[in-house]
Amino acid sequence: MEDYRIRYEAWLASPRLDEKSREELLAIRDDETELKMRFGSTMEFGTGGLRSKLGAGTNRMNFYTVAQATEGVARLIESLGEDAKKRGVILGCDSRHFSAEFDRRCAEVLTAHGIRVYLFDELRPTPMLSAGVRHFGCIAGINITASHNPAEYNGYKLYWEDGAQPTGDVAEKVADFIAHSDIFEDVPAPDQAKEELITMVGADFDEFFLGKVMAEQVYPDAVRRDADELKIVYTPLCGAGYRMVPEVLRRIGVKHLYPVTCQMTPDGSFPGLEKPNPEYPAAFKEGIKIAEEVDSDPIIANDPDCDRVGVMARDKTGAFKCITGNQMGSLLLDYIFSALEEQGKMPADPYAVKTIVTSEMATAICGAHGVDLYNVLTGFKFIAEVIAEHERQGKGTFLLGYEESYGYMKGSYARDKDGVVASMLITEMAAWYELKGMTLIDAIEALYEKYGFYTENSAEIYMEGLDGADKIRGLMDKLRAEEPAEIAGSKVVNIRDYLAETSKNILTGEVTGTGLPKSNVLYWMTENGNVVVARPSGTEPKIKFYILANGKNETEAGENARACTHSLEDMLGMPHDSLKK
């Protein structure tokens, strides 16, 4: 009998399998493809935790896989001693189907091991979970969320004692404990929970968090001075930002806040949203309707767990236009630096952090303002490491950390991207520019005029199915073996393989280390400063590609981006214009 069949039959045979899951599995008994998808493998516990579609099976998010993952976390905490158990774990969740129930199951497993639990009384933004780890001195945090994935997904994010997602060592230990536990027999049943070890977290912590967010204002007078004119449309996309973001905007002085009513109630079905992702213009459809009615600008949207934020703003014609993650990061950098300088508050030792797949406009902006800029691998845990190292050394003033995928962080109360503080800063920045007679789109154009034109393309290739992981490995192997001599007609001068931890200078032949942790990422830079990056996703069955281009003007930058994309398609053996996001 095939391994997947053995696992399937073992689930059916377990007396601990609930009847609803049993019926679900019996209904697919003769569907070999579905059985292989659900039982052909197990979800791998990595630094991003777990993420998959909901459903019964070892490769799906369900009560049993969530409980087994938590058993792995509990065993690691037990191995650290009684103090770690007393410090406890804080639990949070978003609005997705079964998020609250999975959250409760985590609490049952942890307390059965004698581990203290802090449990939010309802859903909260992801950054509040990160902040809670630090505030309560927890050893860990667990957040049930699949971020911006479609409604059929859910996920499991682990945070460690610094409030950041863990690096490989912790994740590997958890994965090992999971591998050595039986998904049914070795996991405590719900009736083994110790309710006395659960502390509910509510309004008091909300006030603490809001205070920390508001302390990160850069130019507090901007919103108050512009309050009569400033109009903001806001949507949480049926997610966790529905309370905290409107509250912080009101507290900083926003008088005219227009919520997208049909998306203000948490709902894991995400009605009307094919993808609850603020990177996509379609997510703003309902917001645009309201903005047109009230003649407002801009529109702010959070993803369902409220760690990311997307914005649409009016261009010169009055039409709404998406501001990309790279553009918003550059806007926030320049705003923070300029507003602090305008007030005479720029610190003597400022620094910012971005990821290697984020626009190089940041380098130009930081250079012009005398701010140190650090480049790290994709993932806020790496941004958090830079902050932690500066704190250990007692030097540097952190001003902003961000990545191109719409995540921004300011302040040290959390160690993850924060859609609450970012929404506040974007609102403040919109007011600051409005007082100068400018929109956010005007501000972007001003940055291009000052620093040069930068543009980006991103694309992804999904490789789902039983052989998806093998296909992803095969494609990355192909790209490593066939190094390009040029991209878009410009000579490749630097090739970085972060898995091999090598950086090759093509002009000199010198090979050095990358200076960053090992990661399955390939990076090519051309003589004219354009960059192409390939990186498999850590949470979804796909490879992501990033094209970072520049030029003397907008037209040239756009042409370079298209030419780089075509070169990448040639490398992949794909027709031109077939590689799209």
Q: Residue 48 corresponds to which tokens in the numbers above?
A: 């991003």
User: Which of 3.20.20.70, 3.40.120.10, 3.90.1010.10, 3.40.50.1700 is the CATH number of 41-201?
Assistant: 3.40.120.10
Q: Cα(125)–Cα(261) distance, rounded to whole angstroms? A: 19
Compute how many other C-beta atoms are within 10 angstroms of the C-beta atom of residue 248: 21
Cα–Cα distance for residue pair 455/549, rounded to 1 Å: 5
Q: Is 147 a catalytic residue?
A: yes
Which of 365, 302, 363 lies closest to 336 in space, CA to CA? Answer: 365
Q: Tell me what pLDDT residue 570 has.
A: 92
Distance between CA 99 and CA 51 in Å, rounded?
12
Burial pattern 227-243, b for ≥16 Cβ within 10 A else e, equals eeebbbbbbbbbbbbbb
Q: Is the distance from CB of 546 to CB of 533 less than 8 angstroms?
A: yes
Nearest in space to 116 (alpha carbons), one of 200, 199, 202, 204: 199
Beta strands at 153-160 and 140-144: parallel, antiparallel or unpaired: antiparallel
What confidence score (pLDDT) does residue 285 get?
97
CATH architecture of 453-572: 2-Layer Sandwich (3.30)
In angstroms, how far apart are the furthest CA atoms of the chain?
73
Domain boundaries, the chain: 1-35, 41-201, 210-451, 453-572
User: What are the pLDDT tens digits along the chain (581 aa)?
Assistant: 689 999 999 999 999 999 999 999 999 999 999 999 999 989 988 878 999 999 999 999 999 999 999 999 999 999 999 999 999 999 999 999 999 999 999 999 999 999 999 999 999 999 999 999 999 999 999 999 999 999 999 999 999 999 999 977 899 999 999 999 999 999 999 999 999 999 999 999 999 999 999 999 999 999 999 999 999 999 999 999 999 999 999 999 999 999 999 999 999 999 999 999 999 999 999 999 999 999 999 999 999 999 999 999 999 899 999 999 999 999 999 999 999 999 999 999 999 999 999 999 999 999 999 999 999 999 899 999 999 999 999 999 999 999 999 999 999 999 999 999 999 999 999 999 999 999 999 999 999 999 999 998 888 898 877 788 889 999 999 999 999 999 999 999 999 999 999 999 999 999 999 999 999 999 999 999 999 999 998 767 889 999 999 998 889 999 999 999 999 999 999 999 888 66
- What are the DSSP calls for 501-512, one per residue? TEEEETTT--EE
Residue type, 573: G
List strands edge to edge, sheet with 407-409.
372-376, 350-355, 397-403, 407-409
β-strands 542-551, 256-259 pairing: unpaired
DSSP structure string for 311-368? EEEE-TTS-EEEEPHHHHHHHHHHHHHHHHHHTT---SSEEEEEETTS-THHHHHHHH
List of E strands, 67-166: 89-93, 117-120, 140-144, 153-160
Please give the span between the terminal C-alpha atoms of the chain, in angstroms, as a whole number: 40
* Catalytic one of 52, 147, 458, 519: 147
Q: Counting beta carbons within 10 angstroms of the beta carbon of residue 160, is it exposed (0 to 12), middle (13 to 18) or buried (19 or more)?
A: buried
Task: Say what the pLDDT of residue 167 is.
Answer: 77
Distance CA 130, CA 118 (A): 12
Cα 332 → chain centroid? 18
Q: Give yes or no for a contact between 346 and 459, defined as CB atoms under 8 angstroms apart.
A: no
Is residue 149 within 8 A of residue 158, CB to CB? The reply is no
User: Residue 537: its pLDDT value, please?
Assistant: 84
Question: How far apart are alpha carbons 43 and 156 in whole angstroms?
Answer: 11
Q: What is the pLDDT of residue 524?
A: 96
pLDDT of residue 2: 83
> For residue 581, what pLDDT is reported?
60
Please identify which residue in the block is written with the tokens 């961000």.
402
The residue count for the chain? 581
Please tell me the distance from the alpha carbon of residue 27 to that of residue 395, in angstroms, as a whole number.
60
Can you identify the CATH homologous superfamily of domain 210-451?
Alpha-D-Glucose-1,6-Bisphosphate, subunit A, domain 3 (3.40.120.10)
Query: Identical fold at 41-201 and 210-451?
Result: yes
Dist. CA 65–CA 190, nearest whole Å = 14
